Amino acid sequence: MRKMIIAGNWKMNNTAAEARELITALKPLLKGAKAEVVVCPPFTALAEAKKLLRGSRIRLGAQNMHDMPSGAYTGEVSAPMLKEHNVSYVIIGHSERRQYFAETDASVNAKAKAALNAGLVPIICVGEDLDGREAGKTDSIVCNQVHLALAGLENDAVTKAVIAYEPIWAIGTGKTATAEEAERVCALIRKQIAKDHGRAVSNRVRILYGGSMNARNAKELKQMPNIDGGLIGGASLKPMDFSIVVND
């Protein structure tokens, strides 16, 4: 059985003080959560989040990392730096990183390897933009991204990774794929992993949906056999909404 994960990506939101307010509100709402819950604040709020989450069941995640452990990379953050703050998950290759910061499939692969080598769980994001979707290239784009993201990884490492399918055309737009379409693509991702690494491995990899999952549609999406949770954006900033996504 794959344990469900609900990960909140706060993006560039919340100061340390605001993070304190949000986590303080979330903790009692998520106390009995059956899913594994992760919150991913900005780097500047990690220290505060670490203190507040001590003793709770909520795990701490980061939104990005460099593939090198140290060096002359101004403005970057490494896996050892994240681990110092008890970070256990890290988002890799989010569409906004690819779109605005020129991240490539090669850099996603390098970061995924570095995260796994450091004992972090990478949440590797894949997904098509609107042009790709309208051109009928969803399947080829997503499968190629999965193949390249996991290239060169040993099977045991692959089982520890998490894949998040985020149709880029749905992020922040309020639009969402139907549950059936989200399930179809997540099943396709699992099939690609099976092709590259074997069925036993693919059956263990957790695949999340990351295209505007919210309090209204989470229950239906989570019932799909190949959707093992969600990577949540806007709804993760609202304690009640996020708790509904987790607990519904």
The set of catalytic residues is: 94, 166
Instruction: Give the C-alpha separation, 165 to 32, whole Å.
Output: 27
Q: Are 213 and 8 in contact (CB under 8 A)?
A: no
In 74-179, beta strands by DSSP E? 87-92, 121-126, 162-165
Q: How far is CA 246 from CA 82, 126, 219, 228, 231, in A?
A: 25, 22, 9, 12, 11
Instruction: Give the C-alpha separation, 63 to 44, whole Å.
Output: 11
Residue matched to tokens 């998950």? 89
Which tokens hold the place of 3? Answer: 């344990």
Instruction: Give the C-alpha separation, 69 to 59, whole Å.
Output: 22
Q: Are 58 and 49 in contact (CB under 8 A)?
A: no
Instruction: Give the C-alpha separation, 47 to 86, whole Å.
Output: 9
| One-letter identity of residue 21 | E
Task: Give Rg (Cα) of the chain.
Answer: 17
Which tokens hold the place of 46? Answer: 């990690």
